């Protein structure tokens, strides 16, 4: 591994900056900032501020279900609009 700029060549042990870089790149452990304050990555899981761990597979499943629910809602709305229009046209002809 190349030494980061904050770890001089003559230093035998990494300073805090280099240690943080190592943890982030090698162990994938880092805290998120901004709107994600409190969330953090630990290895391959995303950890919520409450400590709930979300694996990539679980997150994909949650997003897949949400997409399916949106698609079902749009489909039901389109079917309902089509049925109401057809019903109105049939009643108008009588």
What are 35-82's pLDDT values in tens digits? 999 999 999 999 999 999 999 999 999 999 999 999 999 999 888 887
Cβ contacts of 38 within 8 Å, gap of 6 or more: 32, 48, 49
Domain extents for the chain?
1-54, 55-94
Whole-prediction pTM: 0.60
pLDDT of residue 79: 85
Three-state secondary structure call for residue 69: helix
pLDDT of residue 83: 66
CA distances, 87 to each of 25, 76, 79, 83 (Å): 62, 16, 12, 6
pLDDT of residue 45: 94
pLDDT level of residue 1 (50, 70, 90 thresholds): low
Q: In angstroms, how far apart are the furthest CA atoms of the chain?
A: 94
């Amino acid at each position: 591994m190349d030494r980061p700029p904050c770890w001089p060549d003559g230093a035998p042990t990494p300073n805090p900056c280099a240690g943080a870089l190592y943890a982030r790149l090698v162990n994938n452990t880092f805290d998120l900032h901004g709107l994600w304050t409190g969330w953090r990555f630990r290895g391959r899981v995303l950890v919520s501020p409450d400590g709930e761990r979300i694996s990539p597979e679980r997150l994909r499943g949650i997003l897949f279900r949400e997409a399916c629910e949106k698609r079902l809602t749009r489909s039901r709305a389109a079917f309902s609009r089509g049925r109401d229009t057809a019903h109105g046209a049939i009643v108008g002809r009588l």
